[in-house]
Amino acid sequence: MAKVALLIGVSEYKHGLNPLPSAVKDVEAMQRILANPEMGNFAEADIKVLKNPQPDDIAYAIYHLFADRQKDDLLLFYFSGHGIKDDRGKLYLSSCGTKKQNGKLVTPSAVAASVLHDNMNDSRSQRQVIILDCCFSGAIAQGMSVKDDGSVNVQEQLGGKGRAILTSSTSMQYSFEQEGSELSIYTRYLVEGIEKGAADKDGDGWISVDELHEYASSKVQEASPAMTPEFYPVKDGSKILLAKSPKDDPKVKYRKEFDNIALEDEGEISSANRFYLNEVRNNLGLSDEDANAIEFEVLEPYRQRQEKLQRYQQALSEVIQEQFPISKNNRNGLQRLQTLLNLRDEDIAPIKQRVLAPKQAEYERQQQKAERLHQEQERAEYQRQQAELQKQRERELSTPISQPQSPLRIQTQSFEFDTATITVKSGLFGLGKTCEINRHRGRAEFFREDLGNYVVLEMVAIPGGKFLMGSPENELERLDRESPQHTVTVQPFFMGKFPVTQAQWAAVAVLEKVKIDLELDPSKFKGANRPVERVSWNHAIEFCARLSNKTGKSYRLPSEAESEYACRAGTTTPFYFGETITTDLANYNGNHTYGSGIKGQYREQTTDVGIFPPNPFGLFDMHGNIWEWCQDEWHQNYNEAPSDGSVWVTDNDNPFKCLRGGSWILLPRLCRSASRVDYDRAVRDNFYYNFGFRVVCAVGRT
- Cβ atoms of 133 and 186 within 8 Å: the answer is yes
Asked whether residue 588 falls in the same domain as residue 657, the answer is yes
Provide CB contacts within 8 A for 354, sequence distance 6+. Answer: 313
Q: Does 158 have pLDDT greater than 50? A: no
Residue 473, judged by CB atoms within 10 A of its CB (0-12, 13-18, 19+), counts as exposed
Asked whether residue 239 falls in the same domain as residue 296, the answer is no
Q: What are phi and psi of 475, to 5 degrees?
A: -75, 135
* Cα-to-chain-centroid distance, residue 301: 32
Report the candidate in 627, 631, 699, 695 with the shortest Cα–Cα distance to residue 661. 627
Provide CB contacts within 8 A for 92, sequence distance 6+. Answer: 83, 84, 85, 86, 98, 105, 107, 110, 111, 112, 113
Asked whether residue 634 falls in the same domain as residue 666, the answer is yes
Asked whether residue 224 falls in the same domain as residue 286, the answer is no
* Cα-to-chain-centroid distance, residue 663: 33
Burial of 615-624, coded b for 16+ CB within 10 Å and e otherwise, reads: bbbbbbbbbb
Residue 142 lies in a domain: yes
- Cβ atoms of 46 and 2 within 8 Å: the answer is yes
Q: Does 175 have pLDDT greater than 60? A: no
Burial of 533-542, coded b for 16+ CB within 10 Å and e otherwise, reads: bbbbbbbbbb
* Cα-to-chain-centroid distance, residue 230: 32
pLDDT for 34: 93
Q: The sheet that has 83-85: what strands, in order across it?
A: 83-85, 91-93, 111-112
H or E element: which one contains 637? none
| Amino acid sitting at position 32 | R
Cα dihedral 169, 174, 179, 183 sign: positive
For the stretch 521-560, pLDDT in tens is 999 999 999 999 999 999 999 999 999 999 999 999 999 9
Q: Does 407 have pLDDT greater than 60? A: no
Residue 437 lies in a domain: no
Residue 274 lies in a domain: yes
Domain boundary among 246, 263, 289: 246
Q: Give the pLDDT mean for 160-175.
A: 69
| DSSP result, 678-700 | EEESS---GGGGGEE---EE--E
Asked whether residue 259 falls in the same domain as residue 394, the answer is yes
Provide CB contacts within 8 A for 253, sequence distance 6+. Answer: 203, 284
Which of the two residues, 482 and 366, has the higher pLDDT score? 482
State percent of the chain over pLDDT 70: 87
Count the Cβ atoms, other than its own, within 10 Å of residue 635: 20
Report the alpha-carbon angle 428-434-435, nearest 5.
Answer: 140
pTM of this prediction? 0.46
Residue 438 lies in a domain: no
Cα gap 250→344, rounded to integer Å: 36
Q: If you count them, how many residues does the chain have?
A: 702
Cα dihedral 483, 485, 489, 490 sign: positive
Asked whether residue 632 falls in the same domain as residue 541, the answer is yes
- CATH assignment at residue 63: 3.40.50.1460
Q: Give the pLDDT mean for 581-601.
A: 91
Asked whether residue 133 falls in the same domain as residue 213, the answer is yes
Q: Give the pLDDT mean for 15-19.
A: 81
Q: Does 343 have pLDDT greater than 90? A: no
Report the candidate in 262, 252, 277, 269 with the shortest Cα–Cα distance to residue 222. 262
Q: Are strands 465-469 and 486-490 parallel, antiparallel or unpaired?
A: antiparallel
Cα gap 91→137, rounded to integer Å: 7
pLDDT confidence of 403, banded at 50, 70, 90? Answer: very low
Residue 292 lies in a domain: yes
- CATH assignment at residue 485: 3.90.1580.10
- Cβ atoms of 531 and 498 within 8 Å: the answer is yes
Q: Give the pLDDT mean for 89-113.
A: 87
pLDDT for 278: 81
Provide CB contacts within 8 A for 222, sequence distance 6+. Answer: 263, 267, 301, 302, 305
Provide CB contacts within 8 A for 62, sequence distance 6+. Answer: 6, 77, 111, 115, 116, 119
Q: Does 695 have pLDDT greater than 90? A: yes
Cα gap 311→317, rounded to integer Å: 10
How many secondary structure helices (H) and strands (E) does the chain include?
A: 15, 27
- Cβ atoms of 620 and 612 within 8 Å: the answer is yes
Asked whether residue 105 falls in the same domain as residue 71, the answer is yes
Cα gap 94→411, rounded to integer Å: 95
Count the Cβ atoms, other than its own, within 10 Å of residue 1: 8
Q: Which stretches of 634-675 are assigned E, i.e. beta strand?
A: 656-660
Count the Cβ atoms, other than its own, within 10 Å of residue 329: 9
Number of domains into which the chain is organized: 3
Cα dihedral 110, 116, 117, 121 sign: positive
Provide CB contacts within 8 A for 140, sequence distance 6+. Answer: 91, 113, 116, 117, 130, 132, 165, 167, 232
Q: Does 23 have pLDDT greater than 80? A: yes
For the stretch 626-647, pLDDT in tens is 999 999 999 999 999 999 999 9
Q: Which stretches of 621-675 are assigned E, i.e. beta strand?
A: 627-633, 656-660
Q: How far is CA 538 from CA 104, 351, 657, in A?
A: 82, 66, 10
Count the Cβ atoms, other than its own, within 10 Å of residue 227: 20
Residue 7 lies in a domain: yes
Cα gap 495→542, rounded to integer Å: 18
Cα gap 110→78, rounded to integer Å: 16
Q: Give the pLDDT mean for 179-185.
A: 73
The domain of 178 spans 3-246
Residue 616: is the preceding peptide bond cis (ω within 30°)?
no
- Cβ atoms of 209 and 166 within 8 Å: the answer is yes
Q: Does 274 have pLDDT greater than 60? A: yes
Please, what is the average pLDDT of the chain? 83
Asked whether residue 236 falls in the same domain as residue 252, the answer is no
Domain boundary among 246, 261, 281: 246
Residue 320 lies in a domain: yes
Domain boundary among 246, 277, 311: 246
- Cβ atoms of 83 and 94 within 8 Å: the answer is yes
Report the alpha-carbon angle 462-467-471, nearest 5.
Answer: 120
pLDDT confidence of 394, banded at 50, 70, 90? Answer: low
Residue 484: is the preceding peptide bond cis (ω within 30°)?
yes
Which of the two residues, 150 and 348, has the higher pLDDT score? 348
Report the candidate in 498, 396, 495 with the shortest Cα–Cα distance to residue 446. 495
Residue 183 carries which DSSP code?
S
Asked whether residue 241 falls in the same domain as residue 292, the answer is no
- Cβ atoms of 138 and 145 within 8 Å: the answer is no
State percent of the chain over pLDDT 90: 42
Asked whether residue 502 falls in the same domain as residue 566, the answer is yes
| Amino acid sitting at position 86 | D
Asked whether residue 230 falls in the same domain as residue 347, the answer is no
Residue 424 lies in a domain: no
Cα gap 343→316, rounded to integer Å: 14
